[in-house]
Structure 1
Amino acid sequence: MKKWFGSLLFATMIAGGLSGCSSEEDSVVMAPVPDVQSQFQPETDWSASVGHGVEHYFSRLRPHSAYGKIFVASRDGIVKALDPTTGKTLWEKDLGDEEQTFLSGGISTGLNQLYIGSETGILYAMDAETGELKWKQDVSGEILAAPVTESDLVIIHTSEGNLIALEQKTGKQQWTISTEVPNLTLRGDSTPVTVSGGIFWGTANGRLAAAIASSGQMIWQQSIGTPKGATEIDRLIDVDSSPLVIGSTLYTVGYNGKLVAIDLRSGKPLWKRNYSSATNIATDGGKIFVVTDQDYLTAVDARSGTEIWTNRQLENRLVTEPVIIHNYVVVGDSEGYLYWIDRNTGEFVSEQHVSSSGFAVAPIVLSDGGYLVMTRDGDVKKLTINQ
Structure 2
Amino acid sequence: MKNMLKKALTAAMFAGILAGCASEEDTVIMAPVPVVQSEFTPSTEWKASVGNGVGQYYSKLTPEYAYGKVFVASRDGVVKALDPETGKTLWETDVESDVSARLSGGIVAAYGQIFIGSENGRVLAFNEETGEQNWTAEVDGEVLTSPATDNNFVIVHTNSGMLIALDQVTGESKWTISTEVPNLTLRGNSTPVTASGGVFWGTANGRLAAAIVERGQLIWQQPIGMPQGATEIDRLVDVDASPLILGSNLYIIGYNGQLTAIDLRSGKPVWKRAFSSATDIASDGSRLYIVTEQDHLVAFDARSGTELWNNDQLENRLLTAPTIINQYVVVGDSEGYLHWIDRSSGEFVAQQEVDSSGFAVAPITIPGGYVLMTRNGDVKKLTISE
Q: CA deviation at 1:229?
A: 0.7
What residue number does 1:21 align with?
23
Query: CA separation in 2, counterparts of 1:186 and 1:96?
Result: 30
Q: CA deviation at 1:269?
A: 0.2
Q: CA deviation at 1:304?
A: 1.1
Equivalent position SS for 2:216: coil
Equivalent position SS for 1:262: strand
Q: CA deviation at 1:110?
A: 1.2
Q: CA deviation at 1:7?
A: 3.0
Query: CA separation in 2, counterparts of 1:125 and 1:4?
Result: 34
Percent of aligned pairs sharing the same letter: 64
Q: CA deviation at 1:365?
A: 0.7
What residue number does 2:277 align with?
277
What is the CA deviation profile of residues 325-347 of structure 1, one whole-angstrom value per residue up to 9, with x for unaligned ones? Answer: 01100000000000110111100
Equivalent position SS for 2:51: coil
What residue number does 2:3 align with?
2
What is the CA deviation profile of residues 299-334 of structure 1, one whole-angstrom value per residue up to 9, with x for unaligned ones? Answer: 011111111100000000000000010110000000
Q: CA deviation at 1:369?
A: 3.4
Paired residue type of 1:341: I
Work out whether residues 282 and 288 of structure 2, in 8 Å CA contact, stay in contact via their aligned partners in 1: yes
Work out whether residues 8 and 18 of structure 2, in 8 Å CA contact, stay in contact via their aligned partners in 1: no
Q: Does 1:115 align with 2:115?
A: yes
What residue number does 2:312 align with?
312
What residue number does 1:82 align with?
82
What is the CA deviation profile of residues 217-258 of structure 1, one whole-angstrom value per residue up to 9, with x for unaligned ones? Answer: 111100000001111000000000000011000000000000
Query: CA separation in 2, counterparts of 1:93 and 1:6?
Result: 35
Query: CA separation in 2, counterparts of 1:210 and 1:11?
Result: 32
Q: Does 1:195 align with 2:195?
A: yes
Paired residue type of 2:302: A
Query: CA separation in 2, counterparts of 1:13 and 1:296?
Result: 19
Query: CA separation in 2, counterparts of 1:93 and 1:365?
Result: 24
What residue number does 1:384 align with?
383
What residue number does 1:33 align with?
33
Q: Does 1:140 align with 2:144?
A: no
Q: CA deviation at 1:5?
A: 2.5
Query: CA separation in 2, counterparts of 1:41 and 1:108?
Result: 30
Equivalent position SS for 1:154: strand
Query: CA separation in 1, counterparts of 2:43 and 2:15?
Result: 31
Paired residue type of 2:380: K
What residue number does 1:11 align with?
15
Q: CA deviation at 1:101?
A: 1.3
Q: CA deviation at 1:4?
A: 3.4
Q: CA deviation at 1:99?
A: 3.8
What residue number does 1:369 align with?
368
Query: CA separation in 2, counterparts of 1:254 and 1:39?
Result: 34
Query: CA separation in 1, counterparts of 2:312 and 2:208?
Result: 28
What residue number does 1:95 align with?
95
Work out whether residues 360 and 376 of structure 1, in 8 Å CA contact, stay in contact via their aligned partners in 2: yes
Work out whether residues 78 and 96 of structure 1, in 8 Å CA contact, stay in contact via their aligned partners in 2: no
Provide the alpha-carbon RMSD of the alignment. 0.9
Work out whether residues 121 and 143 of structure 2, in 8 Å CA contact, stay in contact via their aligned partners in 1: yes
Matches within 5 A, 1:180-219: 180-219=180-219
Scaled by the length of structure 2, the TM-score of the pair is: 0.98
Query: CA separation in 2, counterparts of 1:201 and 1:6?
Result: 26
Q: CA deviation at 1:109?
A: 1.3
Q: CA deviation at 1:6?
A: 1.3
- Which stretches in structure 1 are left out of the alignment for 5+ residues? none
Query: CA separation in 1, counterparts of 2:98 and 2:80?
Result: 17
What residue number does 2:130 align with?
130
What is the CA deviation profile of residues 100-130 of structure 1, one whole-angstrom value per residue up to 9, with x for unaligned ones? Answer: 2100011101110110010000100111111
Paired residue type of 2:134: K
Equivalent position SS for 2:6: helix
Query: CA separation in 2, counterparts of 1:369 and 1:300?
Result: 29
Count of matched residue pairs:
382
Q: CA deviation at 1:196?
A: 1.1
Matches within 5 A, 1:289-300: 289-300=289-300
Q: CA deviation at 1:97?
A: 5.6
Query: CA separation in 1, counterparts of 2:145 and 2:39?
Result: 35
Matches within 5 A, 1:335-374: 335-366=335-366, 368-374=367-373
Scaled by the length of structure 1, the TM-score of the pair is: 0.97
Paired residue type of 2:156: I
Query: CA separation in 2, counterparts of 1:195 and 1:122?
Result: 25
Paired residue type of 1:158: T
Deviates more, 1:88-97 or 1:371-380: 88-97
Query: CA separation in 2, counterparts of 1:170 and 1:87?
Result: 31
Equivalent position SS for 1:190: coil
- Which stretches in structure 2 are left out of the alignment for 5+ residues? none
What is the CA deviation profile of residues 257-286 of structure 1, one whole-angstrom value per residue up to 9, with x for unaligned ones? Answer: 000000001100000000000000011111
Q: CA deviation at 1:96?
A: 4.3
